[in-house]
Amino acid sequence: MTTPQRIALPGTVRTNGATPNPWWANAVVYQIYPRSFQDTNGDGFGDLKGITSRLDYLADLGVDVLWLSPVYKSPQDDNGYDISDYQDIDPLFGTLADMDELIAQAHRRGIKIVMDLVVNHTSDEHAWFQASRDKNDLHADWYWWRPARPGHEPGTPGAEPNDWGSYFGGSAWQYDETRGEYFLHQFSRKQPDLNWENPDVRRAVYDMMNWWLDRGVDGFRMDVITLISKQTDASGRLPGESGSQIPDLPVGEEGYSSPNPFCADGPRQDEFLAEMRREVFDGRNGFLTVGEAPGISPERNEHITDPANGELDMLFLFEHVDFDCDGVKWKPLPLDLPGLKRIFASYEGAVADRGWTALFTGNHDQPRVVSRWGDDSTEVSRIASAKAWGLALHMHRGTPYIYQGEELGMTNAHFTSLGQYRDLESLNAYRQRVEEAKVQTPESMMAGIAARGRDNARTPMQWDDSRYAGFTAPDAPVEPWIAVNPNHATINAAAEVDDSDSVYAFYKRLIALRHENPTVAGGDWTLIAPDDPRVYAFTRSLDGRSTGGHRVWDAERLLTVVNLSGESADLPADALALLPADDAIADGVTADRILIATGPDSEAVTAIVTGRLAPWQGFVMRL
Residues 338 and 456 in one domain: yes
Contact 71, 48 (CB under 8 A): yes
In this prediction, residues 261-269 reach a mean pLDDT of 97
pLDDT over 90 at 519, yes or no? yes
Cα separation, 187 vs 165, in Å, equals 9
Last residue within a domain, chosen from 441, 463, 497: 497
Q: Any idea what the CATH number is for the domain that residue 69 is in?
A: 3.20.20.80
Measured distance CA(218)–CA(285) in Å, rounded? 9
Give domain status of residue 277, yes or no. yes
Task: Calculate mean pLDDT across residues 227-231.
Answer: 98
Q: Kindly report, residue by residue over 572-586, the tens digit of the pLDDT.
A: 999 999 987 654 455
Per the domain annotation, does 344 fall within a domain? Answer: yes
Q: Are residues 178 and 285 in the same domain?
A: no
Which of these ranges, 2-11, 28-37, 304-313, has the smallest mean pLDDT? 2-11
Tell me the C-alpha distance between 52 and 560, whole Å.
36
- Which whole number is the average pLDDT over 40-59? 98
Percent of the chain at pLDDT above 90? 93
Q: What is the CATH number of the domain that holds 153?
A: 3.90.400.10
Distances (CA, A) of 311 to 196, 207, 279, 304: 16, 17, 11, 6
Burial (CB count <10 Å: 0-12, 13-18, 19+), residue 308: exposed
The strand pairing partners of 571, in sequence order, are none
What is the C-alpha to C-alpha distance for residues 361 and 374, in angstroms, rounded to an integer? Answer: 11
Cα radius of gyration (the chain): 25
Sequence letter at residue 232:
T
Kindly report, residue by residue over 81-92, the tens digit of the pLDDT: 999 999 999 999
Together in a domain, 333 and 360: yes
* Pairwise CA distance, residues 325 & 552, whole Å: 46
In whole angstroms, what separates CA 452 from the centre of its chain?
A: 15
- Specify whether 475 is located in the same domain as 541: no
Residue 7 within any structural domain of the chain: no
Write out the catalytic residue numbers.
Answer: 223, 292
Which band of pLDDT confidence, cut at 50, 70 and 90, is reported for residue 9?
Answer: confident
Q: Which residues contact 460 (CB under 8 A, 6 or more apart)?
A: 36, 37, 39, 46, 468, 469, 471, 472, 480, 482, 484, 485
**Assigned domain for 516 exists:** no
Query: What own/partner pairs with CB < 8 Å and gap ≥ 24 does 270-274 have?
Result: 270/303, 270/304, 270/309, 270/311, 271/229, 272/196, 272/202, 272/228, 272/229, 273/225, 273/304, 273/311, 273/312, 274/309, 274/310, 274/311
pLDDT in tens, 194-226: 999 999 999 999 999 999 999 999 999 999 999
Residue type (1 letter), 312: L
164/101 same-domain check: no
Q: Give the C-alpha separation, 238 to 231, whole Å.
A: 7
The residues facing 525 across adjacent strands are 540
Q: 110: how many CB neighbours lie within 10 A of its CB?
A: 13
**DSSP string for 572-586:** PHHHHTTSSPGGGHH
In a shared domain, residues 562 and 588: yes
Structural domain boundaries, residue 586: 523-622
> What digits encode the pLDDT tens for the residues 100-117?
999 999 999 999 999 999
Distance CA 50, CA 507 (A): 22
Where is pLDDT greater, at 2 or 179? 179
| CATH number of the structural domain spanning residue 564 | 2.60.40.1180
User: Which runs of consecutive H residues, i.e. helices, occur in 40-95?
Assistant: 48-53, 55-61
Strands 173-176 vs 618-622: parallel, antiparallel or unpaired: unpaired
What letter does residue 61 receive in the DSSP assignment? H
- Closest C-alpha among 154, 72, 158 to residue 121: 72
For CA atoms 493, 497, 500, 505, the dihedral sign is: positive
Residue 6 lies in a domain: no
- pLDDT score recorded for residue 1: 42
* pLDDT score of 4 more than 70: no
Looking at the structure, do residues 434 and 456 belong to the same domain, yes or no? Answer: yes
Contact predicate 456/321, CB 8 Å: no
Boundary residue ending a domain (163, 178, 193): 193
Is a pLDDT exceeding 90 seen at residue 375?
yes
Residue 255 placed within a domain: no
With CA atoms as reference, report the closest residue to 413 among 462, 378, 379, 380. Answer: 462
pLDDT over threshold 60, residue 240: yes
Position 356 pLDDT exceeds 90: yes
CA nearest to 366, candidates 27, 31, 26, 121:
31
Q: Which of 448, 479, 497 is the last residue of a domain?
A: 497
Average pLDDT, the chain: 95
Residues 418 and 531 in one domain: no
**Does 466 lie in the same domain as 335?**
yes
CA dihedral 7→619→364→327, nearest 10 degrees, is 140
Largest CA distance in the chain: 84
- 241 lies in some domain: no
Residues 137 and 103 in one domain: no
**Domains: count for the chain:** 3
Q: Are residues 571 and 540 in the same domain?
A: yes
Do residue 530 and residue 465 come from a single domain?
Answer: no
183 located within any domain:
yes
Chain segment 420-441, per-residue pLDDT in tens: 999 999 999 999 999 999 999 9
